[in-house]
């Protein structure tokens, strides 16, 4: 379900407010679902990506819809700013230049394939986000990652590495799921 411009702007403002709250108190913004339109309180899975000068500054999200959209965005914005293990916590002097991108995920669906080549042939560049599972290993790439890895084979190899597998790893027990996103910036 697509959100209108007003709802998108509310989510971006909420994400920024949660980051500001984190800078002041060390905690995410607590939201009251009664204060928001119904479309923003449905359970949705989101990722919040932060960029500073066109460089990744944090990205945290959930693959499963387990809480209201506004709560998911507020919490993920806070976590992306302060708890992404790849980056130090956001500093107050970075806030003004910070770009916030929100990805609303559709429910994922399993891909059926007979081989790695069959799987790769089914991928839709710039459309599909993927989840890869192999045993206890798991990794995901949002559709926006296609911008850096435009070739399906390369995209999948890097996803395997993100999940802690070798780029050339293959097993008949690999599970792959696809989802799409609505991007808000």
Q: What is the pLDDT of residues 13-35, one digit of tens each?
A: 999 999 999 999 999 999 999 99
Place of tokens 């944090």: 58
How high does pLDDT run on average in the chain? 96
| pTM score of the predicted model | 0.90
What is the number of other CB atoms lying within 10 angstroms of the CB of residue 98?
Answer: 17
The tens digit of pLDDT for each residue in 87-122 reads 999 999 999 999 999 999 999 999 999 999 999 999
Q: Is 69 exposed, middle or buried, given 0-12, 13-18 or 19+ CB atoms closer than 10 A? A: buried
CA distance 99 to 78: 14
Domain 5-105, classified CATH 3.30.700.20, yes or no: yes
Q: Which CATH architecture has domain 109-180?
A: 2-Layer Sandwich (3.30)
For the stretch 31-64, pLDDT in tens is 999 999 999 999 999 999 999 999 999 999 999 9
Domain ranges of the chain: 5-105, 109-180
């Amino acid at each position: 379900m697509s959100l209108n411009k007003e709802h998108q702007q509310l989510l971006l403002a909420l994400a920024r407010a949660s980051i500001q709250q984190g800078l002041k108190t060390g905690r995410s913004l607590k939201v009251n679902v009664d204060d928001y339109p119904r479309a923003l309180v449905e359970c949705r899975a989101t990722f919040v990506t932060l960029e500073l000068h066109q460089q990744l500054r944090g990205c945290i999200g959930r693959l499963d819809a387990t809480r209201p959209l506004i709560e998911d965005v507020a919490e993920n914005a806070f976590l992306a700013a302060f708890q992404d293990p790849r980056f130090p916590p956001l500093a107050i002097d970075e806030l003004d230049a910070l770009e916030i991108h929100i990805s609303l995920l559709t429910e994922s669906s399993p891909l059926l394939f007979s081989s790695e080549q069959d799987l790769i042939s089914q991928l839709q560049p710039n459309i599909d986000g993927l989840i890869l599972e192999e045993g206890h290993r798991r990794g995901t790439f949002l559709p926006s990652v296609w911008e850096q890895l435009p070739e399906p084979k390369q995209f999948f190899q890097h996803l395997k590495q993100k999940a802690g597998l070798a780029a050339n790893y293959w097993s008949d027990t690999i599970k792959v799921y696809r989802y799409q996103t609505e991007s808000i910036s």
